[in-house]
Homo-oligomer: A and B are copies of this chain.
């Protein structure tokens, strides 16, 4: 890149988990510099956060609208090149719209919008803007996930017959039988902020995105059982799905926040006629390849025998473990290359590999299909067209 890209951030002030992850992901490679932000709807908190991040106080704003306006008014060689949006679900759309229309590239957390309708509008806005829009479905940033995708696309698995995707977490289980107020009282459980789903929207969409990224399979229909185990919950904290893919493959997908003792146990198994894959996010540097007629193989990050995508998305040698932040940084780095091209009027590089507005639309359609199916008496609900 010609120079470091200048990043702004909306949301992600002191104490916010995902904002810190976005910043570390952006920092890692020394190609991006945080220079501005509206870190909180509380202006004081925003200022304090700006101080933590060593920003020029004049670039720390009290609202995202102010930020978009004032940054747009700065000279081209000062103003931010893109904004990272790490606010609550219901604000993703207005913030993204605001910055895109003010002429900024956008990196946005998932789920992309509050609902599918907004998602489709956002697609139009992105198109019209001509700007880069990246969605941080970060799990596809892992090198061994990219290896899995390359194996699948090159036919190493043969025809895919079955996909099993699990995403159990257990952090909320303490609230199931808690006397007194729930401990996990996140906005994610509030339908006015989170939308029509909690668990499926927060982590089920990662599972769906991961499976689609690796296999390329499209869901035809879904049969969903959503549950709210925690008393008083309006939204799901657990969901179990049967899936039928176009072309005949079958699947199981589930996500849960009440699976006691599981931490962030996203994993996927893809069964093909020639070979099968198994990848576990909690042990991300390995990819297991299974056959019915020869020994299992363990592919490990950082080796020369891996494909181009895995190699290009790796920072350390084999068995110097890479983790969550490095995968997240791969999304940032790919988006940064696109943003760099956009900013400097260069030709857009080919084969940039980051999730975009289409992934966001698929995710929102997935959420709406699942919730529709969960309410249905019939077994199968067609995947909602997006």
Contacts and interface: CB of A to CB of B under 8 A. Distances in A.
Interface residues on A, range: 35 or more
Number of copies: 4
A254 B256 contact: no
B294 A260 contact: no
A361 to B, nearest CB: 26
Interface stretch (A25-33, A57-65, A350-358): A25-33
A34 B23 contact: no
Interface stretch (A68-76, A112-120, A124-132, A267-275): A267-275
Interface in A358-383: 376-379
A295 B306 CA distance: 9
A161 B275 contact: no
A202 B370 CA distance: 32
Contacts of A320: 21, 264, 323-324
A258 B296 contact: no
Contact of A29 (B3, B24, B261): B24
A269 B371 CA distance: 25
Interface in A259-295: 259-265, 269, 271-276, 281-285, 289-295
A316 B325 contact: yes
Contacts of A377: 378-379
Contacts of A171: 292
Given A24-B29, A162-B259, A300-B295, A318 B271 contact: no
A250 to B, nearest CB: 6
Given A242-B223, A317-B264, A319-B263, A162 B256 contact: yes
A109 interface: no
Interface of A: 1, 3-4, 17, 20-21, 23-24, 27-31, 34, 53-54, 158-159, 161-162, 164, 166, 168, 170-171, 173-174, 176-177, 223, 225, 227, 229, 238, 240, 242, 244, 250-252, 254, 256, 258-265, 269, 271-276, 281-285, 289-300, 302-305, 315-326, 376-379
Contacts of A290: 170, 260-262
Contacts of A17: 316-317
A1 B378 CA distance: 56
Contact of A298 (B177, B252, B265, B298): B298
26 contacts: A21-B320, A23-B30, A24-B315, A30-B53, A158-B177, A161-B173, A161-B238, A162-B258, A171-B292, A174-B293, A177-B273, A223-B225, A225-B244, A225-B250, A256-B271, A261-B290, A265-B319, A283-B321, A293-B305, A295-B303, A296-B298, A296-B300, A316-B323, A316-B324, A320-B324, A322-B325
Contacts of A294: 305
Given A24-B315, A260-B276, A284 B321 contact: yes
